[in-house]
Amino acid sequence: EENGHQNKRLKRNADEEDAEDQNKKSPKRKIVLLMAYSGKGYHGMQRNVGSSQFKTIEDDLVSALVQSGCIPENHGEDMKKMSFQRCARTDKGVSAAGQIVSLKVRLIDDILEKINNHLPSHIRILGLKRVTGGFNSKNKCDARTYSYMLPTFAFAHKDHDVQEEVYRLDKETLEKVNKLLACYKGTHNFHNFTSQKGPRDPSAKRYIMEMYCGEPFVRDSIEFAVIKVKGQSFMMHQIRKMIGLVIAIVKGYAAESILERSWGEEKVDVPKAPGLGLVLERVHFEKYNRRFGNDGLHEPLEWTEEEEKIAVFKEQYIYPTIINTERDEKSMANWLNTLSIHDFNSSAVGMQTNNKNSKNSSDLEGSDGCDDDSD
């Protein structure tokens, strides 16, 4: 019996030594991955363990991490074991050019190539950096930049008969759009731009650093423009509603005064622009970079060397998806037809009926999923 115990102990010691040798060869380290993906056909970024019905970006990512040997299989089933955290929860159909996830992995040779070999071509890991052991990509992120690509006929006045492919945005209209978008800068109460937040909820106050619409350009005979918005954090639907309200004003459905009114305590009917076109462009870690970026051990979380790869990915996978889906499914054109249903002068009581009527037409797109509060 004593010999049996001794043999078991020796075997256990040998197994532990083997595991230790293996870990010495590829120790686990805290890293961040720079991700780009086209979100079409996915139910957002965040994985729902145990629910195979709705495929997410993280399902494919975790599968690739396991298959490449970066993480053990049980870490894929329980993501807390690898301290996994995504920077932003992009939702159904939303793409990303600069998503960041933090996690602990085995630093195997040719790690990026091996992970990408197990990913579909519309999801790419473009960069990797070592970070501090306590790093959390969501909590350490101090700002996020999103873009929203839309056909410019969205800004045509409602009283004008518009041929979508012929429409071109004039200078005066673009100036008006930018004047309205600039009103969002600063801290405002955005309770009307999300769901399930009351006017006195402190978390409804958000800080917007910049918001503007760039010069228009033509793709496949349709003119598009890109709106950029940088903010500390965004609530679910917030960006799409911010853009939706500006479109409603420019088209002549709502008065400019509705912007000021929407930040007050009154409930205001704010339309939600389609999810197609929304892209997580980049996430910012200014405080982390100041503290650790030049400490001699860690690199700053800047991705200048990867900029070209990001641009190529957008041209290959993100922009064509937005353009082709807009052309085939007419998501913006169909949504614009629902603006007349909204009552921009109504109170909360009058709104409830309108919301029920417009739900079928405008809620199918899914949310923009920037809800940093409920992650």
146 is annotated as contributing to ligand binding? yes
Over range 227-239, report the average pLDDT: 95
Give me the active site residues, please.
Answer: 91
pLDDT of residue 25: 59
Give the β-pairing of 278-284 and 95-106.
parallel
All domains in the chain, ordered by first residue: 26-140 (3.30.70.580), 143-287+296-346 (3.30.70.660)
pLDDT of residue 4: 63
Query: Looking only at Cα atoms, what is the longest distance across the chain?
Result: 94
Is the pLDDT confidence value at 350 over 90? Answer: no
- Beta carbons within 8 Å of 34's beta carbon, 6+ residues apart: 98, 99, 100, 125, 126, 127, 128, 129, 303, 306
Greater pLDDT, 66 or 370: 66
Helices 171-182 and 238-250: crossing angle in degrees, nearest 10, is 140
HSE-CB at 305 with a 13 A cutoff on CA atoms is 8
pLDDT in tens, 144-169: 999 999 999 999 999 988 888 899 99
Single pTM value for the model: 0.85
Neighbour tally for 73: CB within 10 Å: 9
Gap between the Cα atoms of 80 and 76, Å rounded: 9
